[in-house]
A and B are shown apart, each in its own frame.
Chain A
Amino acid sequence: EAQVTQNPRYLITVTGKKLTVTCSQNMNHEYMSWYRQDPGLGLRQIYYSMNVEVTDKGDVPEGYKVSRKEKRNFPLILESPSPNQTSLYFCASSLSAGNFLSSSSGANVLTFGAGSRLTVL
């Protein structure tokens, strides 16, 4: 089944303890991205990757790191988590960024993971 898989789905951790949220897709997608969702703020893009070894900052990159060493994986790293990083995180992928911006019709060109709820105490 074509999907984006995030792990862990739920995590409670403490301030300063490094953690990694993994994201893996099995669709050979070039484009991957991370978002955080907070009440009243919608989704905010943290980082995106156009392809292997190509990453760019989104709107809220502070406190996060990413890497794209292979096409299928795009982990989100919190080196020193703080309580303001408590949030619901989504990973998403697309065949290419150009694909989801193409004029052709079709749904679900960005495929989202199920979300990872992170609590930092």
Chain B
Amino acid sequence: AQSVTQLDSHVSVSEGTPVLLRCNYSSSYSPSLFWYVQHPNKGLQLLLKYTSAATLVKGINGFEAEFKKSETSFHLTKPSAHMSDAAEYFCVVSVHPNAGGTSYGKLTFGQGTILTVHP
């Protein structure tokens, strides 16, 4: 079984200040973790993914996330927010392919965090 909890439904920051979007996960197996972004009235776009290589993962548009197994967390950060970062962000967990079978095709999304950026 796997689950994802995004700890904040809304985050509001000022332009130029740091962004922190929090995600905790639960997985019976070694997980693969992703962050996706959805801009208003758009489809989803992959920001970054963790698949058991480096624990600090860098993604597009200056975002990065750190996998912390001891804390079962995969928080998303960005040093300086831009207005264009305003969107909804989803943390996603899957089972690592090394777990065997086809269960790594099953993706579980968090509830989403809406990021608002103020001028």
Residues of A within 8 A of B (CB): 31, 33, 35, 40-45, 48-50, 54, 56, 58-59, 90, 92, 97-98, 100-103, 107-110, 112-115
Interface residues of B (CB under 8 A from A): 6, 9, 32, 36, 43-47, 49, 51-53, 59-60, 90, 94, 96-97, 102-112
- A112 to B109, alpha carbons, bound, how many Å? 14
Contact (A112, B107) CB under 8 Å given A101-B94, A101-B97, A102-B51: no
Q: Please determine whether A44 and B102 come into contact, CB atoms closer than 8 angstroms.
A: no
Say which residue of A33, A101, A113 sits within 8 Å of B32 (CB atoms).
Answer: A101
Asked if residues A41 and B111 are in contact (CB atoms below 8 Å), the reply is yes
Cross-chain contact of B43 among A50, A97, A107, A113 (Cβ < 8 A): A113
A43 B90 Cβ-Cβ under 8 A:
yes
Q: Is the CB of A42 within 8 A of B45?
A: no
Give the docked Cα–Cα distance between A49 and B110 (Å).
21
Between A and B, 10 residue pairs with Cβ closer than 8 Å are A33-B107, A42-B6, A43-B90, A45-B107, A59-B106, A59-B108, A92-B44, A97-B97, A97-B105, A101-B32
